[in-house]
């Protein structure tokens, strides 16, 4: 759980709170539909303020206006909205009937980056442990709006993607990613990771679906529901991480129940980079077989494809991937160590 700090220590000027913090249970109204609130159902009549230790993340509900839903899943729902006149994304985190502890951990993990601002990280604008007229919500998180296109969409051509249109050799209805795009995306991701790691934040669920791509082609790392905050001065967590993450991208040391370090994200980056190059799923076998083989037999996606051998850039990417997903944590490069070679590779294209 992040340490409480004054709200305006991390909010930009346009989101600075008023001196009078409003009740956090005020209903959010859809424009033109005064009879319905943000989450549906009858408007809340309770006016419950956040306790002083949570005042830093208070949301001014009167300034939040729903525009349209962007998606939903087991975690809850995401909406496009405006907050204080600026377009934002709003994540409504719901309670899990199966594992309420995991739901609470996920909500607070999202706020590990609440004070941070970086060009390659999705920024948290504000948050609240309350939600209007909702009995099934753990809280609400307001984030900068970066669009709805993820690296997964770009790689696999799924959804309404602005890159789609020309068939590639496989006839899948998506453009092939150039080596220049591949290297640029990689630079953005590793730059974001280097910043997060410098702040003691380990993402623990890095994968194409959690990397957003803006209309300007900039990658931003998002979805911090599995993230972990290392204790100050420590390179690894004193605790074993119990939260999930995606098994295809989860580092073998975490599968074995070992301590969390930033090198777990480097492993996930290697699998993600492989996906960018190959545009295939990393594993096709049964989940339990994959988990066992990754740990016991060092199973990894194949690097034998021609794309890794037919050009100097391909060979360099192969070398980076191979180094980043080594079983021995100490043999993997850090994000800060990776950056110079990736930037040099980008400059050579």
- Separation between Cα atoms, residue 152 and residue 149, nearest integer Å: 8
Cα dihedral: 227, 229, 233, 238 (round 10)? -90
- Spot the catalytic one: 60, 205, 223, 265: 205
Neighbours of 46 (CB within 10 A): 11
Residue 65 φ then ψ, to 5°: -130, 120
Structure tokens at 300: 């990894």
Question: What is the three-class DSSP state of 154?
Answer: helix
Long-range interactions of 151-159: CB distance < 8 A, separation 24+: 151/185, 151/208, 151/209, 151/211, 151/212, 151/213, 151/219, 151/272, 151/276, 152/207, 152/208, 152/209, 152/211, 153/213, 154/208, 154/213, 155/208, 155/275, 155/276, 155/279, 156/208, 156/279
DSSP code per residue over 170-183: T-SSSPPPPHHHHH
Using an 8 Å Cβ cutoff, are 345 and 316 in contact? yes
**Residue bearing tokens 């709170």:** 17
Q: What is the DSSP letter of 291?
A: H
Long-range interactions of 4-10: CB distance < 8 A, separation 24+: 4/53, 4/54, 4/55, 4/56, 5/56, 5/115, 6/56, 7/55, 7/56, 7/57, 7/58, 7/126, 9/56, 9/115, 10/114, 10/115, 10/116, 10/117, 10/124
Active site residue 223: no
Which H/E stretch holds residue 78?
strand 76-83
220 is in an annotated binding site: no
Of 252, 196, 258, 256, the C-alpha closest to 228 is 196
Which residues are known to be catalytic? 205
Binding-site residues sit at 91
Binding-site residues for ATP sit at 91
């Amino acid at each position: 759980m992040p340490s409480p700090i004054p709200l305006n220590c991390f909010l930009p000027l346009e989101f600075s709170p008023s001196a009078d913090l409003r009740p956090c249970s005020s209903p959010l109204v859809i424009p033109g539909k005064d009879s319905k609130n943000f989450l549906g159902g009858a408007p809340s009549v309770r006016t419950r303020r956040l306790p002083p230790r949570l005042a830093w993340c208070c949301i001014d509900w009167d300034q939040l206006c729903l525009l349209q839903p962007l998606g939903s899943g087991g975690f809850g729902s995401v909406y496009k909205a405006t907050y204080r006149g600026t377009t934002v994304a709003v994540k409504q985190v719901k309670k899990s009937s199966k594992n309420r502890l995991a739901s609470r951990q996920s909500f607070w993990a999202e706020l590990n980056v609440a004070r941070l601002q970086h060009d390659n990280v999705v920024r948290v604008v504000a948050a609240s442990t309350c939600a209007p007229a909702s009995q099934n919500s753990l809280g609400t998180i307001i984030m900068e709006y970066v669009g709805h296109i993820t690296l997964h969409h770009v790689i696999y051509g799924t959804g309404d993607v602005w890159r789609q249109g020309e068939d590639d050799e496989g006839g899948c209805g998506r453009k092939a990613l150039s080596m220049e795009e591949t290297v640029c995306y990689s630079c953005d991701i590793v730059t974001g990771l280097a910043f997060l790691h410098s702040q003691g934040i380990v993402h623990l669920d890095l994968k194409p679906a959690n990397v957003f791509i803006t209309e300007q082609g900039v990658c931003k790392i998002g979805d911090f529901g599995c993230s972990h905050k290392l204790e100050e001065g420590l390179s690894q967590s004193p605790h074993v991480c119990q939260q999930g993450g995606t098994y295809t991208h989860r580092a073998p040391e975490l599968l074995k129940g070992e301590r969390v370090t930033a090198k777990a994200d480097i492993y996930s980056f290697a699998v993600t980079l492989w996906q960018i190059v190959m545009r295939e799923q990393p594993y096709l076998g049964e989940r339990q077989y994959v988990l066992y083989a990754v740990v016991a037999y060092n199973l990894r996606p194949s690097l034998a494809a021609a794309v890794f051998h037919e050009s100097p850039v391909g060979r360099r990417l192969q070398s980076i991937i191979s180094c980043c997903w080594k079983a021995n944590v100490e043999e993997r490069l850090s994000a800060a160590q990776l950056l110079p070679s990736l930037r040099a590779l980008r400059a050579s294209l």
